[in-house]
Amino acid sequence: MPAIPSAPRSARTRSWWGWGYTDAHPDDAECAALGALLPGTLARPLPVPRIEDLPIARPAVTAPPSLAHLVTADPRARAAHAMGKAYRDVIRALRARPGRIPDLVAHPTDDREVADLLDWAGEHGVAVIPFGGGSSVVGGVEYRGDAHRAVLSLDLTSMDRVLEVDTAGRSARIQAGALGPVLEERLRPHGLTLRHFPQSFEFSTLGGWLATRAGGHYATGRTHIDDFVQSLRVITPAAAGTSWRLPASGAGPSPDRLFLGSEGALGVITEAWMRLQERPRHKASASVAFTDFHRALDAVRAIAQSDLAPANCRLLDPGEALLSGASHDGSSVLVLGFESATSPVDDRLASAVDLARAHGGRAKTPPADRDAPADSAVSAWRSAFLRMPYLRDGLARMGAVVETFETAATWDRIPALIDAVRTEVGAAALKLTGHQATINCRLTHVYPDGAAPYFTVAVAGRPGDEVEVWDDIKAVAGEILHRHRATITHHHAVGRDHRPGYDLQRPEPFALALRAAKNALDPHRILNPGVLLD
């Protein structure tokens, strides 16, 4: 099938410093109201940062005439590509401390132009950082160091077409710069979907998902992007290559696995064949309340170890349930959802609710009519889920330290892990700031052998030292995760901010193999220096 044109881009303006769209940011009054929820925050919000106030130096290099049409030194473009969207990035922008701003931003439109840009960068000592939607929350899209004379941000969003669709094999060849909504809009006429929906879906790209081994928000089944990959095309400073498109293979180490999660350190992913699914036609959801959080954990484990395979099985602790509006009586809330392209899912939902009730849950009878109004707790959670990153930025403007970190561990370790994070991170935040922290927990993904707890920490920061407080809290959290043998990241890469935890977890022979691959594929060591590999 011939290439499919890209979907129209949104006319709304993306924020260069914070999450999402500028017109969705909390105004000063809403920021102040948010700050009132955390004792010790600022009396008034920090002003929205201006690019004119940033220390943007003249570019250290100039692109040759043959590449000039692909490259810009526009200050707004450079500022928007300087950092990701972690709390650390947002507060640095608010304090006008962005770190190293790229000298140039490039927008290639095909593989040849990517290769030409890499060749030029290698010849002139220019570091290259592949860039998708810019939603990184681990320092993965910024340059830290001084080993290169200049930095080029390689923005792939002009490479955003669906090139082929194989309806018989339910797969498609898609360029890596396609943002989530663009990708899904191009697949919709075929009745197909990738069914990969991270919270950053609207502002992240297929290539970013692949390079970071991203996780979607579906609770069970195929949720990590790895599971959807048939083959990859990668451009490196040494060569270009495409892996074979196969349904499965046992032929030695997988070339795709080498690049999945490599965060641009080994090469630039420019396109991929992805496994697709039929769009769901049957959906049902319900919520279950628990007075005992540990019994709720048992209920979630029972559902995960059944054959019911819910699309959503999200457990909110009392604080998280209150924050999202799912509960106001101190209960924990389990949000359940099922979907299918082929058959009704009401019986599966009813069975999951019965399992939850057997562990002390309280639930309304699920509606038999799929067109009935959605459960109010489910609706409240869904709205809060999409709004939360904007509220985090509003709290940042009030000088609060607010961040979510995520992990995964086996079921036997989960209760102690959750208790340790609440106790020890809370104590560390109090010592660092003099203020009591709010620490909420939710389980977002569940597996037969374990689960993925996500923790949100919010505390009034020390004015001007918010980044230092964030770093110290993150270090304490990382030590707890290591002690409980929990992963340093469940779904969004290592970057620079998770390197210490990642280095403790990776076996040394694997680390040596990665370094060898880096040296072979990037002889100039220009790609994304410092991320994942030394």
The predicted-structure confidence for 93-117, as pLDDT tens digits, reads as follows: 999 999 899 999 999 999 999 999 9
The predicted-structure confidence for 157-206, as pLDDT tens digits, reads as follows: 999 999 999 999 999 999 999 999 999 999 999 999 999 999 899 999 99
**Does the structure show a pLDDT above 50 at 372?**
no
Contact yes or no for 435/466 (Cβ under 8 A): no
**Does the structure show a pLDDT above 90 at 375?**
no
CB atoms within 10 A of CB 471: 12
- Residue 2 is predicted with a pLDDT of 46
The predicted-structure confidence for 192-248, as pLDDT tens digits, reads as follows: 999 999 989 999 999 999 999 999 989 898 889 999 999 999 999 999 999 999 999
Of the candidates 273, 246, 6, which has an alpha carbon nearest to the alpha carbon of residue 164? 273
- Residue 222 is predicted with a pLDDT of 85
Cα separations in angstroms, 376 against 325, 336, 371, 492:
9, 13, 14, 30
The predicted-structure confidence for 466-511, as pLDDT tens digits, reads as follows: 999 999 999 999 999 999 999 999 988 899 888 888 888 888 888 8
The predicted-structure confidence for 301-322, as pLDDT tens digits, reads as follows: 999 999 999 999 999 999 999 9
Quickly tell me which residue has 């935040």 as its tokens: 429
Round to whole Å and give the CA distance between 232 and 48: 40
Structure token digits, residue 444: 């977002």
Report how many helices (DSSP H) and strands (DSSP E) the chain contains, helices first.
16, 19
Of the candidates 150, 89, 97, which has an alpha carbon nearest to the alpha carbon of residue 122? 150
- Who's near 242: CB < 8 A, 6+ residues apart? 231, 232, 233, 234
Residue 306: HSE in the Cβ half-sphere, 13 Å Cα cutoff: 18
Q: Which of 83-97, 151-165, 364-378 has the lowest mean pLDDT?
A: 364-378
Round to whole Å and give the CA distance between 129 and 81: 10
Query: Mapping DSSP to helix (H, G, I), strand (E, B) and coil, where does residue 355 land?
Result: helix
**Does the structure show a pLDDT above 80 at 376?**
no
What torsion do the CA atoms of 79, 199, 392, 318 make, to the nearest 10 degrees? -170
Helix ranges (DSSP H) in 409-534: 414-420, 426-433, 466-483, 499-505, 508-521
What is the overall mean pLDDT for the chain? Answer: 92
Look up the pTM and report it. Answer: 0.93
Cα separations in angstroms, 145 against 5, 107, 496, 510, 528:
40, 24, 11, 25, 11
The predicted-structure confidence for 20-50, as pLDDT tens digits, reads as follows: 999 999 999 999 999 999 999 999 999 999 9
- Residue 369 is predicted with a pLDDT of 46
Of the candidates 389, 386, 399, 390, which has an alpha carbon nearest to the alpha carbon of residue 27? 390
Round to whole Å and give the CA distance between 445 and 312: 8
What would the mean pLDDT of 454-465 be, rounded to a whole number?
A: 95
More confident residue, 370 or 75: 75
The predicted-structure confidence for 405-419, as pLDDT tens digits, reads as follows: 999 999 999 999 999
CATH of the structural domain 282-379, one choice from 3.40.50.1000, 3.30.413.10, 3.30.300.130, 3.30.70.3450 = 3.30.70.3450
Query: Mapping DSSP to helix (H, G, I), strand (E, B) and coil, where does residue 404 land?
Result: strand
Structure token digits, residue 158: 């002009």
Confidence of residue 371 (pLDDT cuts 50, 70, 90): very low
DSSP secondary structure code for residue 443 in this structure: E
- Residue 386 is predicted with a pLDDT of 77
Terminal-to-terminal C-alpha distance of the chain: 42
More confident residue, 364 or 249: 249
User: What's at 374, amino acid-wise?
Assistant: A
**Does the structure show a pLDDT above 70 at 367?**
no
What would the mean pLDDT of 145-168 be, rounded to a whole number?
A: 96
